[in-house]
Amino acid sequence: MIPIDDSPIVRDGKSLILAMDHGLEHGPVDFEDVPEKLDPSTVFETATHDAVTAMAVQKGVAEGYYPSYEDDVNLLLKLNGTSNLWMGEPDSPVNCSVDYAAELGADAVGFTVYSGSNHEVEMFEEFRDAQEKAREHDLPMVMWSYPRGQGLKNDTKPSTISYATRIALEIGADIAKVKYPGSKDAMAHAVKSAGDMKVVMSGGSKTSDYEFLSTVEAVMDAGASGLAVGRNVWQREDPTQLLDALEKVIYEGETADAALEE
Ligand code: FBP
């Protein structure tokens, strides 16, 4: 872990990363109800909101669309990623080098590690190479720390999520992105398990404004440093309204109720 409070992907010690790598991870199915979002420009537009500290995309989307947004959006280049068509044990091929991410203008890089998978050994080794290269470029490393695999029955139980944040600290991430472990207390333990490293919550499938904001409030109360979220933002017809509320909960410490009332 290196100090990253001065990084553009951090605002007042917090981050709101807008993730849009779903076309690879899940396929176009995630865009069915919002077909206009199949055009990545629409989500880059959303990422120009002040609350958003970075947009996480794969290499191809960065090559094609980031040049039009480089003045208004910070880029988090996801270095690995897999499709839903892969049926083996969880794995995530490396699709982009850190050198090329830097060339594309990345402000940070992202890497998924499925600890517990039969592919853990190779994934740790690939993470090591990317992390050490990221240090040479002074790029923060955001780890999608997602324990899963045939031996793991429940990948969001509290002890698994605490282990996920700890693994991220141990192997050199700067921010761990983890799933919500189901309660504020469990999240607080996961944050503590990461020492001084920042922990952000992964969004999950779309829920109501109130449900989502209440979870974000709990996560912030638990000491987390923000969010790395996709569907809960861009699957909304008007993401701006939710981003306005998220800005209040994440950076201004408001409750979900207060943020929605204004
Ligand atoms: P969401 O907020 O939409 O859940 O996105 C977070 C994320 O990590 C994406 O970056 C990624 O595409 C997706 O979830 C992967 O989710 P999973 O591996 O659980 O299907």
Q: Ligand 1: which atom is nearest the Cα of residue 84?
A: 20
- C-beta of residue 96 within 8 angstroms of C-beta of residue 59: yes
Q: Ligand 1: which atom is nearest the Cα of residue 78?
A: 10
pLDDT beyond 80 at 181: yes
pLDDT band with cut points at 50, 70 and 90 for residue 26? very high
Reduced to 3 states (helix: H, G, I; strand: E, B; else coil), residue 225 is: coil
**pLDDT tens digits for range 183-225:** 999 999 999 999 999 999 999 999 999 999 999 999 999 999 9
pLDDT at 4: 97
Determine the residue of 202, 205, 219, 229 to mutate for testing ligand 1's pocket, defined as the one with the most ligand atoms within 8 A of the Cβ atom: 202
pLDDT beyond 90 at 27: yes
Domain 15-261: assigned CATH number: 3.20.20.70
- The rounded Å distance from CA 203 to ligand 1 centre is 7
- How distant, in Å, are the alpha carbons of 55, 140, 217 from that of 73? 7, 16, 25
One-letter amino acid identity for 94? Answer: V
- The rounded Å distance from CA 202 to ligand 1 centre is 7
Q: Respond yes or no: is residue 133 known to be catalytic.
A: no
Alpha-helix runs per DSSP H in the chain? 22-25, 40-46, 59-65, 98-103, 120-137, 158-171, 184-193, 209-221, 231-234, 239-251, 256-261
Burial class (CB in 10 A: 0-12, 13-18, 19+), 61: buried
The Cα–Cα gap between 129 and 26 comes to 26
Q: Respond yes or no: is residue 210 known to be catalytic.
A: no
Check 14, 59, 78, 177 and give the catalytic one: 177
Q: How many CB atoms lie within 10 A of CB 153?
A: 7
Residue having the nearest C-alpha atom to atom 17 of ligand 1: 25
- Report if pTM > 0.90: yes
One-letter amino acid identity for 192? Answer: K
The Cα–Cα gap between 22 and 235 comes to 11
Reduced to 3 states (helix: H, G, I; strand: E, B; else coil), residue 8 is: coil
The position carrying tokens 């398990």 is 193
pLDDT at 41: 98
Burial class (CB in 10 A: 0-12, 13-18, 19+), 157: middle
The DSSP string of 95-149 is: -S-HHHHHHTT-SEEEEEE-TTSTTHHHHHHHHHHHHHHHHHHT--EEEEE---S
pLDDT band with cut points at 50, 70 and 90 for residue 151? confident
pLDDT at 58: 98
Nearest alpha carbon to residue 110 among 142, 146, 73, 133: 142
Secondary structure of 63-99 in HEC code, one letter for each residue? HHHHHHCCCCCCEEEECECCCCCCCCCCCCCECCCHH
The Cα–Cα gap between 116 and 211 comes to 30
- The rounded Å distance from CA 204 to ligand 1 centre is 6
pLDDT at 153: 84
Going by the DSSP 8-state scheme, the letter that residue 9 receives in this structure is T
Calculate mean pLDDT across residues 234-244: 95
